[in-house]
Amino acid sequence: MAMAGGIVVILLFIVSLLASWISPYDPNEINLHEVLSNPSFAHLFGTDQLGRDVFSRMIWGAGISLKVGFVATGVAICIGVILGAIAGYYGRWVDTVIMRFVDIMLCFPAFFLILAVIAILEPSIWNIMIVIGLTSWMGITRLVRADFISLKERDFVQAARAIGASDLRIIFRHILPNAMASVLVAATLGVAGAILTESALSFLGIGVQPPTPSWGNILTAGKNNIDIAWWLSLYPGLAILITVLGYNLLGEGIRDSLDPRLK
């Protein structure tokens, strides 16, 4: 199953990198003579309410989804790793302050917090990426903190202290590399969550703005034409399902391979 997830992720990368060669049409090309055309050889996934080729828009939308997933997860990892490392390494009042801040952030429903921030800011792909990252770092902080609490008492850390290594060197050179396994798993699962959140925001009309193609805003067109254009809901919905499932399977496989208790 992990291999299946890996294949899905690799295929998405290939599709997003080769979008300009694979896409049979310009994703924003309007053709009013073929509005809401059924899937055919000319248009494999049919056309939308403006006559744009859905297959081409989905290919370009794959790149948007991957970009959002990786940038948002990168922001979350940077924040989570730094705060988790500081809390776990120093402990005491530093740990208390950071973890109470984490608890406060967890009290807010993440999706509604994102909605509130996006409603204030101008909806754009960069704002979406940053806001998703700024609201999804709490779990990574807890993971890194737990690893640091365990690792900072190991002999190799005591040896680094004995030879006069600075706190920054101990944290980033000695402890953090040993805590990256859980971070890698969390990052893989975080990409799937970010893609799902971006699709939901785009579906609501406050995510990636038209005419930029996104699986979420294709679904919006499907919602408005569900009774006469089933393909506008089916194909992007399947794309989101398969992508998120692929990342989740890959994350589970990485976790199992890195867990010594399962060997």
Above 70 in pLDDT, residue 48? yes
Supply angle C-alpha 66, 69, 74, rounded to 5. 125
Cα within 13 Å of Cα(6), Cβ side? 6
d(CA 1, CA 252): 9
Question: Count of residues for the chain?
Answer: 263
Write out pLDDT tens, residues 71-113: 999 999 999 999 999 998 888 888 899 999 999 888 888 778 7
- Tell me which H or E stretch contains 76: helix 54-90
d(CA 221, CA 57): 12
Q: What value does the mean pLDDT take over residues 200-217?
A: 81
pTM for the whole thing? 0.83
Ranked by mean pLDDT, which of 71-80, 150-159, 206-215 comes out on top?
71-80
pLDDT on residue 79: 92
Retrieve residue 251's tokens.
């994350």
In the block, residue with structure tokens 């101990």: 170
Is-contact 240 215, C-beta < 8 A?
A: yes
Give the start-to-end residue ranges of the domains of the chain: 2-17+48-262
Residue 240 has a CB neighbour count (10 Å cut-off) of: 23
Tell which CATH architecture fits domain 2-17+48-262: Orthogonal Bundle (1.10)
Distance of CA 54 to the CA centre of its chain: 23
Above 80 in pLDDT, residue 175? yes
Q: What are phi and psi of 163, to 5 degrees?
A: -90, 5
Q: What is the mean pLDDT of the chain?
A: 85
Rg (CA), the chain: 22
